[in-house]
Amino acid sequence: MARLLFRLAFALLAGLFLHGCGKPNAPEQGASTEPPAATAMTDLRKQRWARTCAMCHVGGQGGAPVVGDGDAWSSRLAQGEDVVLEHTILGFNNMPPLGYCMDCERDDLRAYIRFMAGGTGT
């Protein structure tokens, strides 16, 4: 039950993060109102991620590793980032080729992998 609540809370936060919510107060000089992963991804990348990767990686549909699930991602990344990128491009198990992101470049996909695995993306 706790895991389900965590996933639901994370999905809600991810939705707010991706779609934005007004920023009524200006941040202090040098302070960021977004988490590090958010500041590393451009708005275009956030939009692409929301319409492609997020469909499966927020809730784990089809066995997709959930965003921020270090255990699930560490076993994949142990194969090397190039292998994970190749699986992303060609498709692997239930994941479709390019994760349905037909307009994504390799750098975009690398950023999404890093973001979902708990890194900052680029």
Joined tokens for residue 79: 């194969």
| Weakest mean pLDDT among 15-19, 43-47, 77-81, 102-106 | 15-19
pTM: 0.65
CATH for 2-19+36-116, options being 3.90.226.10, 1.10.760.10, 3.40.640.10, 1.10.490.10: 1.10.760.10
Task: Read off the pLDDT band of 120 (50, 70, 90).
Answer: low
Domain chopping of the chain, boundaries: 2-19+36-116
State percent of the chain over pLDDT 70: 64
* Greatest mean pLDDT range, 5-9, 29-33, 89-93, 118-122: 89-93
Does residue 37 contact residue 112 with C-beta atoms inside 8 Å? no
Q: What are phi and psi of 95, to 5 degrees?
A: -80, 125
pLDDT at 7: 52
Q: Whole-angstrom Cα distance, residue 34 to residue 39?
A: 6
Query: Tens digit of pLDDT for each residue in 97-107?
Result: 999 999 999 99
